[in-house]
């Protein structure tokens, strides 16, 4: 008996599903395993594949939390917290990723990592205890997690236990509103009286997603709360209670370098959150998590900073910052550079002639340069001069040469893009290539400026608001990541941030997106904070032009 012929509609549906699967396979690895995002517009099409021609599965609401697992140039592959997978246009997501603040988890019995929060979902992997799990989100009895091998999926309450919480409990300081999304434009869904205790779920910029005692979830502004971190106890001489991994740095993102076995006694010198550094001279070197340590040892105080950082530790953090920057996870990259700045400066002052110390010190101050003009006699003068005077006959010579070349290439590329944005001839493919090269060579603040200039060129010279918006959005994300890490932009940096917010708003308005007014609102906040009348006039003229 011949199989029934497929109808044109069935064939088209299967074709779209296959194309979506191929797109997903092509773009695996472009992002971290999972990041929290927020939908910023109502009735957003949730589609089967990365394009307008794919079937619409559902519509998403403004303020909805989703988990992004990958992306193409214009589309984000997401999972809803109810488990459904699909694609939405990337401009429908708030700029920047959320920071999970839920407790880390430990697997205490064998269980399944599933593709969605239900026992009927596909099994991704079988997990063996005592594995650490980084918790991304929670819905009911299910937890979205990243495993030690960087797999993303869901685990059930019955196979895990909580082991730490960086943010502890949130306490409300004054009468406050809890909103349906991270911003004052979202409706108020509840109120909170002073002294109310809330459980933090995630953080997006200045807003926390919280859960009340009645299990209601909503958003509260950070200035209205105090974060009470839980107390912890650790040991200087620690006893290992169970076999486990030793890592090169304080986190699951660092590679495994060794193994430890139950019963070992090891000296600890540094503390970072729930991670302990085994001191030099011990049988193994690296970092271990506190769940591997017995609880009956001498306690010492903990800290979230690197304590008396050794060169190898600081080097590891700066290398991780560089690699994180290349992957365009801007917030975490800036945080790593910022966290290591005081330590690498102190190491440089103690040993100013060592070539490798000079290299890592200059990489750090160059990455966090706070000015836009990068000729060697200006903002990067200290970093550039230190490298030029460093001996190239010893360790780190190749790294030093490459960083000098990057600094000099920065000047050339920035001049070319400035010329193009002013009307000079520059092939579009070369302009895009320069933008793609930016994370490898530019300080963060200059990279943000470059993305803005590319967006401006595509908007004004090429009349292409869709392409322009993508580069402008990258610029906005980078500026916001700098500000969230308390990096000063300076007057010129703030000016560029204001203009890219306005330019992104114009591009999105031309594309018919209501989210354009979110960027105008952020620009207005800058105007009010800086009392800049020139910006105010530009803002008014721009909105009048759009309204015509």
Q: What is the pLDDT of residue 2?
A: 45
- Which residues, listed in sequence order, are joined to residue 176 by a DSSP beta bridge? 192
Whole-number pLDDT of residue 56 = 92
What's the pLDDT band for 484 if we cut at 50, 70, 90? confident
Residues 6+ apart with CB under 8 A from 510: 465
Q: Give the span between the Cα atoms of 76 and 53, in whole angstroms.
A: 15
In order of 85, 368, 387, 435, the CA distances from 376 in angstroms are: 49, 15, 11, 22
Classified by CATH at the fold level, domain 314-547 comes out as: 1.25.40
Over residues 385-408, the pLDDT tens digits come to 788 788 776 678 888 888 888 888
Q: What's residue 410's pLDDT? A: 78
Handedness of CA 120, 121, 124, 128 (dihedral sign): negative
Residue 483 predicted with pLDDT over 70: yes
Each residue's pLDDT tens digit, 84-120 = 889 999 889 887 777 777 777 878 788 899 988 888 8
Please indicate whether residue 343 or residue 87 has the higher confidence score (pLDDT): 87
Whether a cis peptide bond, with omega within 30° of 0, leads into 353 is: no
Please state which CATH class domain 30-97 belongs to. mainly beta
Tally of helices (H runs) and strands (E runs) in the chain: 12, 29
The pLDDT value recorded for residue 538 is 92
Given a cut of 50, is residue 19 above it in pLDDT?
no
Run of H or E including 35: strand 35-38
Going by DSSP bridges, is the β-strand pair 132-139/142-146 parallel, antiparallel, or unpaired? antiparallel
Q: 160-215: per-residue pLDDT in tens?
A: 877 654 445 677 887 889 998 888 888 899 998 887 888 888 887 778 888 887 87
| Helix, strand or coil, per DSSP, at residue 147 | coil
Looking at per-residue pLDDT, the higher value among 339 and 190 belongs to: 190
Question: Could you tell me the maximum CA-CA distance found in the chain, to the nearest angstrom?
Answer: 83
Average pLDDT for residues 274-297, to the nearest whole number?
Answer: 71
**271 or 57, which is more confident:** 57
The domain limits of the chain are 30-97, 101-162, 169-228, 235-305, 314-547
Q: What is the mean pLDDT of the chain?
A: 78
CA 428 to chain centre: 29
DSSP 151: -
- Under CATH, what is the fold of the domain 101-162? SH3 type barrels. (2.30.30)
- The tens digit of pLDDT for each residue in 353-372 reads 888 888 898 888 888 875 54
The answer to whether 5 and 47 have CB atoms below 8 angstroms apart is: no
**Which residue has better confidence, 481 or 22?**
481
Q: How confident is the model at residue 11 (pLDDT cuts 50, 70, 90)?
A: very low
> Does 235-305 carry CATH code 2.160.20.60?
no
Quickly state the pLDDT bin for 58 (edges 50, 70, 90): very high
pLDDT above 50 for 298? no
- pLDDT at position 394: 65
* pLDDT score of 22 more than 80: no
The yes-or-no verdict on residue 531 having pLDDT over 70 is yes
**pLDDT at 495 exceeding the cut of 60:** yes
Q: How far is CA 137 from the centre of its chain?
A: 15
Confidence (pLDDT) at 381: 62
Same fold, 30-97 and 235-305: yes
pLDDT digits (tens, 9 = 90+) for 222-267: 878 876 544 343 446 777 877 888 888 777 767 788 888 888 888 8
The predicted-structure confidence for 439-470, as pLDDT tens digits, reads as follows 887 788 888 888 888 888 888 888 889 989 99
pLDDT at residue 15, rounded to an integer: 44
High-pLDDT (> 70) share of the chain, %: 82
pLDDT of 139 over the 90 cut? no
- pLDDT of 509 strictly over 60: yes
Distance CA 20, CA 78 (A): 12
Query: Which residue in 303, 323, 304, 308 sits closest to 255, CA to CA?
Result: 323
The pLDDT tens digits for 32-45 are: 457 888 888 888 99
Q: Which tokens is 424 given?
A: 């000079």
Question: Which pLDDT belongs to residue 164?
Answer: 54
pLDDT at 273: 62
Report the candidate in 346, 306, 317, 38 with the shortest Cα–Cα distance to residue 180. 38
CATH fold of 169-228 reads SH3 type barrels. (2.30.30)
**In the prediction, which pLDDT does 33 show?**
55
Question: How many CB atoms within 10 Å of residue 439?
Answer: 18
> What are the C-alpha distances in Å from 138 to residues 87, 99, 389, 480, 530?
21, 14, 53, 26, 39
Top-ranked range on mean pLDDT: pick from 376-380, 430-434, 538-542: 538-542
């Amino acid at each position: 008996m011949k199989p029934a012929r497929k109808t044109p509609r069935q064939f088209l549906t299967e074709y779209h599903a296959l194309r979506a699967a191929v797109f997903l396979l092509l773009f695996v690895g472009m992002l971290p395993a999972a990041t929290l995002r927020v939908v910023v517009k109502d009735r957003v099409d949730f589609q089967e594949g990365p394009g307008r021609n794919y079937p619409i599965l559902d519509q998403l609401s403004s303020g909805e939390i989703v988990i992004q697992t990958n992306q193409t140039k214009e589309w984000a592959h997401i999972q809803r917290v109810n488990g459904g997978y699909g694609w939405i246009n990337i401009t429908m997501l708030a700029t920047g990723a959320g920071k999970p603040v839920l407790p880390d988890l430990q697997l205490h019995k064998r269980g399944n990592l599933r593709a969605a929060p239900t026992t009927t979902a596909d099994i991704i992997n079988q997990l063996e205890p005592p594995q650490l799990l980084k918790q991304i989100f929670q819905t009911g009895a299910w937890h979205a997690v990243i495993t030690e091998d960087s797999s993303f999926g869901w685990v059930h309450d019955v196979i895990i236990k909580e082991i730490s919480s960086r943010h502890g409990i949130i306490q409300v300081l004054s009468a406050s509103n809890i909103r349906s999304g991270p911003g004052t434009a979202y409706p108020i869904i509840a109120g909170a009286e002073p002294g109310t205790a809330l459980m933090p779920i995630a953080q997006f910029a200045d807003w926390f997603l919280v859960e009340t005692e009645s299990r209601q979830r909503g958003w509260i502004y950070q200035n209205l709360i105090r974060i009470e971190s839980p107390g912890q106890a650790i040991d200087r001489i620690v006893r290992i209670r169970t076999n486990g991994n030793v890592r090169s740095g304080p986190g699951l993102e660092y590679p495994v370098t060794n193994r430890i076995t139950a019963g070992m006694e090891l000296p600890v010198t540094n503390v970072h959150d729930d991670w302990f550094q085994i001191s030099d001279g011990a049988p193994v070197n690296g970092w271990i998590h506190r769940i591997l340590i017995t609880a009956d040892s001498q306690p010492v105080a903990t800290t979230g900073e690197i304590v008396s950082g050794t060169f190898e530790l600081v080097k590891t953090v700066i290398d991780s910052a560089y690699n994180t920057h290349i992957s365009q996870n801007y917030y975490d990259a800036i945080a790593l550079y910022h966290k290591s700045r005081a330590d690498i400066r102190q190491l440089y002052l103690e040993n100013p002639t060592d070539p490798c110390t000079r290299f890592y010190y200059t990489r750090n101050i160059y990455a966090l340069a706070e000015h836009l003009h990068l000729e060697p006699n200006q903002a990067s003068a200290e970093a550039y001069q230190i490298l030029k005077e460093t001996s190239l006959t010893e360790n780190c010579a190749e790294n030093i040469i490459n960083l000098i070349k990057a600094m000099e290439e920065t000047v050339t590329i920035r001049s070319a893009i400035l010329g193009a944005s002013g009307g000079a001839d520059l092939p579009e493919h070369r302009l895009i290539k320069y933008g793609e090269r930016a994370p490898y060579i530019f300080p963060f603040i200059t990279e943000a400026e470059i993305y803005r200039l590319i967006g401006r060129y595509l908007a004004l010279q090429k009349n292409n608001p869709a392409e322009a918006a993508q580069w402008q959005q990258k610029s906005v994300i980078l500026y916001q990541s700098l500000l969230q890490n308390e990096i000063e932009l300076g007057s010129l940096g703030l000016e560029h941030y204001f203009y890219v917010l306005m330019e992104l708003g114009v591009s999105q308005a031309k594309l018919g997106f209501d989210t354009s007014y979110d960027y105008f609102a952020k620009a207005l906040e800058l105007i009010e904070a800086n009392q800049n009348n020139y910006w105010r006039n530009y803002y008014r003229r721009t909105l009048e032009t759009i309204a015509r």
